[in-house]
Amino acid sequence: MNSDPVIEVRGLCKRVTDATGELTILDGIDLTVHAGGSVAIVGASGSGKSTLLGLLAGLDSASAGSVRLLGHELTGMAEDQRAALRNGSVGFVFQSFQLMPHLTALENVALPLELQGGLSTREAFARARALLERVGLGQRTSHYPKLLSGGEQQRVALARAFVTHPAVLFADEPTGSLDAATGHAVIDLMFELNRANGATLVLVTHDIDLAKRCDSIVTIEAGHRVIDGAHAAHEASRVEAGR
């Protein structure tokens, strides 16, 4: 594993205001993720783990503190600047797949390459087709998402996430809408692709067995406590048992 940090977080806070007043979702989070590693973020429902992932990826902006992604300080960046940083360098896998319903599997996977630029349409489609074959969907390239099973849609999403060879993959409950057997197969594939690409994986999950497959576990409690290492595994088990 490369010792260079890919993500550095210091004093991270996220607050929102609603009709009842100000609500603190995350408070004082410190975290370092090194290149080539895998980190699981766990915690009870509502603890702020998905909010943290969104801040790490630059999908949302912090109320206070510092987030550095791939050596770039996200604090103060406009959304278009954060989007430019993510383009080609960051991949995403979500529980709800987030495929474009009007595009075929092949078109969905090729889309990030076309948005990134630098390749002809023919080259982008060739790379997308090769990756779909790798995830076992070589015969489903012309199918639209509604014609694919949940497991197939998530494999399309994995292919789309890795087609640009991202430095970092963010995965938010990637098996949350899949049955156990399909979920295990998708996770095996995700780790396989991640190793092959040498990417850094940041995974949000409620599944402690899945979390234990990562190099380290970060547990969030009430949005303000982060525990790393072996103690985190113990704490994560306790949190899960108490749900």
Look at residue 144 in the predicted model and tell me its pLDDT: 97
Work out the angle between the directed axes of helices 105-116 and 150-162 (0-180°, nearest 10).
Answer: 20
**What does the pLDDT read at residue 1?**
52
Closest alpha carbon to 88 in 155, 163, 34: 163
Q: What is the pLDDT of residue 118?
A: 82
The pLDDT, as a whole number, for residue 235 is 47
Are the C-beta atoms of residues 125 and 103 closer than 8 Å to each other?
Answer: no
Burial bucket for residue 228 (CB in 10 Å: 0-12, 13-18, 19+): middle
Integer Cα distance of 116 and 167 in angstroms: 14
Query: How far is Cα 14 from Cα 2, in angstroms, rounded to an integer?
Result: 30
**Neighbour count for residue 172 (Cβ, 10 Å):** 22
Q: For 24-59, what is each residue's pLDDT tens digit? A: 899 989 999 999 989 999 988 888 899 999 999 999
Q: Of the candidates 12, 31, 50, 4, which has an alpha carbon nearest to the alpha carbon of residue 171? A: 50
Cα–Cα distance measured from residue 204 to residue 197, given in angstroms and rounded to the nearest whole number: 20
What 3-state class would DSSP assign to 37?
coil
CATH 3.40.50.300 is held by the domain 1-89+207-243: yes
Report pLDDT for 230: 46
Tally of residues, the chain: 243
Q: Residue 232 has what pLDDT?
A: 44
Structure tokens at 93: 């896998």
Residue numbers in the chain where pLDDT is lower than 70: 1-3, 224-243
In this prediction, residue 234 carries a pLDDT of: 47
- How many CB atoms sit inside 10 A of residue 232's CB? 21
Cβ-Cβ contacts under 8 Å for 178 (sequence gap 6 or more): 150, 151, 154, 186
Dump pLDDT digits (tens) for 52-70.
999 999 999 999 999 999 9
pTM of the predicted model as reported, rounded to 2 decimal places: 0.86
